Structure 1
Amino acid sequence: MTASLLHRAVTRDHWIGRGLRWPLDRLSVNAVLPVLSGPLFLRRWIVGAGLHRCWLGTYEREKQRALSKILSRGMVVCDIGANTGFYTLLMSRRVGREGHVHAFEPSPGNLAFLRQHMALNKVSNATVHGEALSDGVGQAFFDTSPGSYQGRLDPKGRTPVSVTTLDHLWEQGALPPVDLLKIDIEGAEAGALRGGERLLRRFRPTLFLATHGVETHRECCRLLRSFGYRVQSLDGNTRVEETDELIASNR
C-alpha cells in the first residue's frame, strides 16, 4: 500500500479506512514501530506518541518535503516546539553527524517521548532542551489539554516551566549560530521571535513558522519583515494572509 493510500485510509471515511482503522485502534500505545514512508523511513516511533500518521510517515507531508529540500549536512538547526520528536528526527537525519539539532519542548509528557525517541534511534547529533522559548528569562506556567499532544504557555496553566530566549542562549554560549529554525508553539510564536531578534538579525537563519490565531499571525509577519525577512507561504502560492504555515528567508 502506498503512502498516499495509507494517508487517505486513516484520514477519510471510505471503505479502506473502515477496515484499516480497526487494527490501528487496537495497537498498544507502547508499541514501537518503524516509520513506513517519507524522510523518516524506518526510524523507530512509539505508537502512543502521536497520530498514526507519524509512524505511517504521512504526517504534514508538504512540510516534510519543504524542510527536507532546505536541510543539508552540517547545518545547525532548532526545532522549537519539538512535541514528541517527529521533526527532530527528520532534522537529525538530514543534517547528519556534521550538523546538530537543538530541540525545545517544555511539556513534561511530550519531553519524555522526545527523549525516548532520541534514545530508540540512537540520535547523537541532537540536544534536548526542556525550556519554553519566549521574550524573557524566568518562570512561567504551561497548559496541556488532557489527552492532547499540544500545549502552550498560559498564566492559568498548572505546570511550572522555565522560560528563556534564543538571544540569551546564544549570548551565554548554549546555542551556536543557527542555519534554520522550525517554530510551532501554539500561539507563543511572536514572543519567541522577539526573544531572538539579535540572533535573527545577525545570522539570518531560514524560519519555518506555524502561527496560531489572526493577531499572532499578523504580529509574526510584521516582526519578521522588520528584521529584514521575506515572508511567504509554505507552498509558495497561497497568499501570506490566507495561511498559517510560513517560510521566512533573508531578502
Structure 2
Amino acid sequence: MTLFQHLHMLARCWRYRLRSEAADIAQLSRFDLQGRTAIDIGANRGIYCYWMSKFVGPEGRVIGFELQPELHDALQGFKRRSSMHNVEVVMQGLSNQNGMVRIERSYAGSTGARISDPTTVPSSGDVPPGFGKITRLDDYCRKHNVQDIAVIKCDVEGHERQVFEGAEETLRTQRPILLFEAFNSEIEQGGLFDYLKRIGYRGFFWSHGKRYDAKQFKTAPYRRPTCVHRNYFFTPVAKVHRPSAIRYTRSYPVSA
C-alpha cells in the first residue's frame, strides 16, 4: 500500500466515523471493549477493523474475516501502514457450513459482494477466480481457541442469518454484542430477528440521532429515502431466576 492509498483509507475511516456511520461507531466506542476480542465479518478493506483496533486497545484482539481473496494485499497493507498490531486478517467468509462458494459482485473488492449461491463445493487447493472460502465461526473459534469475544460486526449483504447460525454456539456461550447490516426482506422473509430473539438477543438501531427498538425497522426514517436496509445492534439478555418465574434483563447496559 502506497502512502497515498493509506491516506485515502484514513480519510474513508474518518468519513465513516464523522458522517456515514457516525452513530454506530460512536455506539461501539461506548461499549467496554478494552482488552477483549472483536470480530469483523465482511472486513472488506478494513474500516471497521481500524476503529475496533482502537476500541479494544493494545491488549485486545481484532479478527477480520473477508471472503474476497483479491482484498488480501489491501487489508494487509492497511494493517501494516496503520500499525494495527492487534489485528489478524483471515481470508475466508463465514456461513453455516464449510467449503467454497461463488461470489456475486460488480467488480473484485466491491463493498456489495455477496454469496450468490449458498451451495458449497469442497474447498481443496487454490481458490478459482470468482470463488471464496467459507467456514463456520464456531469451528474457527474452537480450532483457534478464540475467547472473550465482546462484539461481532457483520456486513455480508443478506447472508447474516447463515453467519449467525454458524456462530450459534459462540453466541450462546460468549454472548457478544452484535452489530450488523440487514435488509428489510431478510428481516421479514428470512426470520433474522426472530432467530436472534430465540437465542436470547434484543435489538435497537439509531436513526437521525434517535434510538429505536429493532421492531420499528419499517416505520423509522432511513438514512436516505431510497434505503431499505440499516445497521442494527443486538445485545444479549440474561436469564434471571426467581422463585416463581424466570424473567429476562439486558446484560449490557447501553448509553443513549
Aligned partner of 2:40 in structure 1 is 79
How many residue pairs were aligned? 210
In the alignment, what sits opposite 1:99?
A: 60
Q: Which has the higher strand share?
A: 2
1:53-132 aligned within 5 A: 53-56=12-15, 57-58=17-18, 59-132=20-93
Aligned with 2:114 (options 152, 172, 178) = 152
- Distance, in Å, in 1 between the alignment partners of 2:69 and 2:214 is 36
Give CA deviations for 1:175-201 in whole Å, capped at 9, x if unaligned: 334111011111110100100111101
Among residues 233, 242, 246, which one is paired with 1:247 in the alignment?
233
- Structure 2 alignment gaps of length 5 or more: 119-127, 219-228, 238-256
Aligned-pair distance for 1:78?
0.3
Q: Do structure 1's residue 133 and structure 2's residue 94 form an aligned pair?
A: yes
**Distance across 2 between alignment mates of 1:68 and 1:239:** 20
Per-residue Cα deviation, 1:62-81 (whole angstroms, up to 9, x for no partner): 11111111153111110111
Q: Which runs of 5+ in 1 are unaligned?
A: 1-28, 34-44
Q: After superposition, where does 1:170-181 map in structure 2 within 5 Å?
A: 170-181=141-152
**Aligned CA-pair RMSD:** 2.6
Deviations 1:106-150 (A, max 9, x none): 113333222111010111111111111000011111122127333
Identity %: 25
Aligned partners of 2:38 and 2:152 also within 8 Å: yes
CA distance in 2, matches of 1:158, 1:177: 35
Query: Highest relative contact order (Cα 8 Å, sep 6+), 1 or 2?
Result: 2
Per the alignment, residue 250 of structure 2 pairs with none
Change (3 A) 1:116 1:220: same
DSSP-derived class of the 1:236 partner? strand
**Please, what TM-score do these two structures have when normalized by structure 2?**
0.73
Is 1:224 equivalent to 2:196 in the alignment? yes
Structure-1 separation of matches of 2:114 and 2:151: 22
1:18-38 deviation line (CA, Å, top 9, x unaligned): xxxxxxxxxxx96537xxxxx
CA, structure 1 residues 89+214, in 2 after alignment: closer, same or farther (shift >3 Å)?
Answer: same
1:24 corresponding residue in structure 2? none
